Amino acid sequence: MKNAPQCIQSSAQNLVCGEWVDSPQTFTVLNKFTNQALATVSAATREQVRQAVGMLQEAAVQGPPPPAERASVLRSAAALLRERRAAFLDVLVAEAGFTLVDAESEVDRAAITLNLCAEEATRLVGEVVPFAASPGAHNRIGFTQRFPIGVVCAITPFNSPLNTVLHKVGPAFAAGNAVALKPSSLTPLTATLLGHLLLDAGMPSNFLAILHGDGNTLGQWLLEEEAIGFYTFTGSTRVGRAIQQRAGLRRTQMELGSIASTIVCASADQAKAADRVANAAFRKAGQVCTSVQRLYVHASIVEEFLPRLIEAAGKLKAGDPTDPRTRVGPLISEKAAMQAEEWIADAVSKGAKLLCGGQRTGSVVAPAILTDVPPAAKLWTQEAFAPVLALQPFETLEAAIAGANASPYGLSAGIFSSNIHECMHAAKHLRFGTVQINESSSARSDVMPFGGVKDSGFGKEGPWHAMREMTEERLLIFNP
């Protein structure tokens, strides 16, 4: 802990009933590059969970601040985030292993997300119902309004401990809900820092609880709280299924697993495609649900394209995330890095060719590109969540689309082509929540709807869309 920046607290507490409180049980957060202890965090008790949710329920019943006030809080939070930028950068680099470039992007995007939520807070409206379409009902006037569900539980991942948190907390509060936040136990310091910021920005203390702890234990306690009306979760498909089963008739939004694919056609701008694919595959050490894992390249350009891709990957220095030159930092743990190393070795033993990278030093894995990965290899059939890219040539676009679709997941895909017919064909037939044209699978603007199909989950993030997920629609009819 002595090597941590001064702005990083040596301990973190839970936010319960408007106060930061300790608990008897604690756990340690590690620096993801050095693997040394960074901070000690209090794990929420069962009673603290009960108290927190009870407070949130009472606040929801009493009602939220007016929309304009909620918008003002969110705008103030965005301004404070810019003022406290350095502190957030330090924490993101230390506890998440982000490079400085990735940390800066995370903070910048988080400020955008807050401002988008502020904008939507004051224009959450319903629709007019055209009763004139029904014979004899033309004199009726009807419209819908949206009301907060009440208490929203946000369960968030380690790979985006600031912006993904705000994609859940921001829309929930903007829509008038009280929020129980359970951040990843691997990256709780960012959420704690954010909690202080939100309270300083004016968020009512009875509208926010932050509860730290293990997902299996704390997550189960949160699912037992019937006062929670909505669960928004980003994480594995396995955990998502468990949450969905336990939630019952309560509403959920699930952003789950993924094996993202990108297709490079013969007509593509190869230089553009190589640079964007390399960045998308290896940024955040490949720990992004939309990271390019399967890359389909037309057979006629493979020999020309591969050197471009390898060169682009070679420019991405792997190592110490505090070094401004580093572009690929550590994975979330040495165990995760060892798994990536094992999966690469497994693929090679089955006939794959490792063209570059793959070497592991502690928690850091150099960006790896492989070809001839057999269909049965884990690297092809399971989400790697590591800086690993598997390339497969294709002869026809239909074959590439079929290969990309041959996965239980369907979050995001990309295609590079200068042929409009190829682009439209891919858009129609790729079964993914997002299809990027002349972009990799891993490109996101915070205003856009974001979510998947199949085992990648359901529901949408993006402030406008998430707020409609987190509200109830009520129909009002004035009869003559």
Average pLDDT, the chain: 96
User: Which CATH number do you get for residue 212?
Assistant: 3.40.605.10
Whether 293 contacts 447, CB under 8 Å: no
Amino acid code (one letter) for 84: R
252 & 114 share domain: yes
Q: CA-to-CA distance for 180 and 456, rounded, in angstroms?
A: 24
Q: In what order do the strands lie in the sheet with 128-129?
A: 128-129, 141-148, 471-478
Q: How many CB atoms lie within 10 A of CB 11?
A: 14
Whether 2 is in a domain gets the answer no
In this structure, what CATH number is given to the domain that contains residue 284?
3.40.309.10
Q: Are 187 and 156 in contact (CB under 8 A)?
A: no
CA distance 467 to 298: 41
pLDDT at 159 over 80: yes
CA torsion sign, 408 to 409 to 410 to 416? negative
User: Based on the domain organization, do 223 and 265 belong to the same domain?
Assistant: no
Residue 241 sits in the same domain as residue 269: no
Indicate whether 112 and 160 sit together in one domain.
Answer: yes
Give the integer Cα–Cα distance in Å for 72 and 464.
Answer: 17
pLDDT, position 330 = 98
Which is catalytic among the residues 120, 255, 439, 469? 255
| C-beta of residue 102 within 8 angstroms of C-beta of residue 51 | no
Q: Is residue 6 part of a domain?
A: no
Q: What average pLDDT does this structure show over 212-240? A: 97
Domain count, the chain: 2
58, 191: one domain? yes
- Statement to judge: residues 313 and 244 lie in one domain: no
In a domain, 72, yes or no: yes
Residues 282 and 346 occupy one common structural domain: yes
pLDDT of residue 9: 74
Report whether pLDDT(245) > 90: yes
Q: What is the pLDDT of residue 4?
A: 53
Residue 423 a catalytic site member: no
The whole domain housing 132 covers: 11-256+456-477
Is the predicted pLDDT of residue 10 greater than 90, yes or no? no
How far apart (Å, rounded) are the C-alpha atoms in residues 171 and 21?
A: 26
Amino acid identity of 53? V
- Distance in angstroms (rounded) separating the CA atoms of residues 468 and 146: 8
Average pLDDT, integer, range 247-255: 97
Whether 4 is covered by a domain: the verdict is no
Which tokens hold the place of 97?
């292993």
Per the CB < 8 A criterion, the answer to whether 234 and 39 are in contact is: no
- Is 88 found in the same domain as 208? yes
Do the domain assignments include residue 451? no
Give me the mean pLDDT over the 227-255 stretch. Answer: 97
Contacts of 151 (CB under 8 A, 6+ apart): 53, 56, 57, 60, 177, 178, 179, 180, 227, 228, 229, 230
Q: Is residue 183 part of a domain?
A: yes
3-state secondary structure of 445: coil
pLDDT for residue 164 is more than 50: yes
The answer, yes or no, to whether residue 2 has pLDDT greater than 50, is no
Q: Is the pLDDT of residue 400 over 70?
A: yes
Nearest to 390 by CA among 405, 371, 412: 371
**Domain co-membership, 219 together with 200:** yes
Q: Is 255 a catalytic residue?
A: yes
Other C-beta atoms within 10 Å of 475: how many? 11
Say if residue 198 is in the same domain as residue 333: no
Give per-residue pLDDT as tens, 52-87.
999 999 999 999 999 999 999 999 999 999 999 999
Q: CA 367, CA 411: separation in Å to the nearest integer?
A: 23
Clarify whether residues 16 and 111 are in a common domain: yes
**Which residues face 391 on adjacent strands?**
295, 371
pTM of the model: 0.96
The per-residue pLDDT for 11 is 84
362 & 408 share domain: yes
Span 77-105, mean pLDDT?
A: 98
pLDDT band at 1; cut points 50, 70, 90? very low
> Shortest CA distance to 370 belongs to which of 313, 410, 328, 409?
313
Q: Are 259 and 292 in contact (CB under 8 A)?
A: no
- The answer to whether residue 3 is domain-embedded is no
Name the catalytic one among 153, 265, 289, 423: 289
The tokens describing 73, both together, are 């809080």
In a domain, 213, yes or no: yes
The partner residues of 147 in beta bridges, in order of sequence, read 472
Distances (CA, A) of 393 to 129, 304, 322, 426: 52, 12, 37, 17
3-state DSSP assignment of residue 129: strand
Give mean pLDDT, residues 117-121.
98
